[in-house]
């Protein structure tokens, strides 16, 4: 079982493609979160809305950075 | 048929309610509490507004779920954050060799794992932060953002509220003083529920002060 798992990991191209597809889907999710944060802060205006939007942008940028990282080092 | 009784001086129920609302405001006029990032209740907040708020409308009561209701996801976040360290400690203690996982994969999967934890905590905080119930001088507003993509804003006029009560069941709710407030309305939405809000008795008192005297003149 462990040898099989190691062989799977060593199929670099397939695992890399799978991982990148997952990250692309996650980037779409992160964009949805960012958009919904904007909607929320428009409906209910609180003093810390700016912080929440910055965090959602940071989340999106982290997801994109992870995609770039996976592309480079895997 | 001649009128048997005509109540003097009451021409407009809406005008009467507005006068009662002003009396309600006067009792809160010294309570300008700010809405903080962790606030669950705020009386007459001056740093909050909502999208369809009228120019002459003031928010008298701002409510969220009691902060203690966030404890489950906070605990899960902390445990998830510490899990990789625990796994490495356990692996070292049991002599399990994790070096079969290539280093690049460990780095990338680890980064993805922590981004997921961040997203989990962030979305839960957003969900708590923007599920808001409001009592204003004119209306009751219930803003509901569930599951990040579900968005519902329910509004009813104060004069349509027929009945209001609250329940506080169990040790945890009694100890932390939070409970459910239920409002029956004559509007399209038959009831408004403010669930797990702090100081439910105060919420009922303030809302009754705005609407309760109307019943004596009805």
The complex's ipTM works out to: 0.85
pTM of the model: 0.83
Q: Is B9 left (phi over 0), alpha (psi -120 to 50) or beta?
A: left
Q: What is the pLDDT of residues B172-211, one digit of tens each?
A: 999 999 999 999 998 788 889 999 999 999 999 989 888 8
Q: How far is CA B194 from CA B131, B133, B149, B197, in A?
A: 10, 7, 21, 6
Left if phi > 0, otherwise alpha if psi is -120 to 50, otherwise beta: which for B211? alpha
Residues of B in contact with A4 (CB under 8 A): none
Number of alpha carbons in the 13 Å side-chain half-sphere of residue B165: 3
d(CA B23, CA B182): 23
Chain B CB contacts of A36 under 8 Å are 126, 145, 148-149, 151
Read off the pLDDT of each residue in A34-42 and give the average, rounded to a whole number. Answer: 95
Mean pLDDT, chain B, whole residue set: 85
Among chain A, residues having any CB pair with chain B shorter than 8 Å are 2, 5-6, 9, 15, 19, 23, 26, 29-30, 32-33, 36-37, 39-40, 42-48, 51-52, 55-56, 59, 62-63, 66, 69-70, 73-74
pLDDT tens digits for range B128-183: 999 999 999 899 999 998 878 888 999 999 889 989 999 999 999 999 999 999 99
Q: In this structure, are residues A56 and A37 in contact, taking their beta carbons and an 8 Å threshold?
A: yes
């Amino acid at each position: 079982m462990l040898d099989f798992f190691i062989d799977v990991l060593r199929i670099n191209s397939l695992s890399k493609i799978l991982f990148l597809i997952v990250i692309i889907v996650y980037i779409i999710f992160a964009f949805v979160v960012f958009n919904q944060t904007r909607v929320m802060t428009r409906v209910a205006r609180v003093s810390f809305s700016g912080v929440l939007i910055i965090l959602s942008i940071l989340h999106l940028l982290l997801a994109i950075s992870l995609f770039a990282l996976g592309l480079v080092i895997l | 048929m001649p009128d048997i009784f005509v109540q003097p001086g009451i021409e407009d129920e809406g005008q009467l309610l507005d006068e009662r609302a002003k009396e309600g405001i006067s009792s809160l006029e010294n309570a300008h509490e700010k809405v903080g990032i962790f606030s669950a209740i705020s009386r007459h907040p001056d740093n909050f507004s909502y999208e369809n708020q009228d120019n002459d409308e003031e928010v008298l009561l701002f409510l969220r779920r009691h902060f203690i209701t966030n404890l489950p996801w906070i605990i899960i976040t902390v445990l998830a954050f510490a899990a990789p360290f625990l796994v490495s400690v356990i692996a070292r203690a049991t002599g399990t060799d994790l070096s079969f996982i290539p280093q690049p994969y460990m780095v990338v999967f680890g980064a993805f794992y922590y981004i997921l934890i961040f997203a989990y905590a962030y979305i839960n905080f957003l969900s708590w932060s923007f599920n808001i119930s409001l009592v204003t001088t004119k209306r009751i507003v219930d803003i509901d953002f569930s599951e990040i993509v579900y968005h519902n804003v329910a509004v009813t006029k104060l004069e349509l509220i027929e009945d209001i009560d609250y329940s506080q069941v169990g040790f945890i709710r009694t100890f932390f003083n939070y409970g459910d407030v239920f409002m029956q309305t004559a509007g399209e939405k038959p009831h408004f529920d403010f669930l797990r809000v702090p100081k439910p008795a105060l919420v009922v008192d303030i809302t009754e002060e705005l609407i309760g005297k109307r019943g004596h003149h009805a």
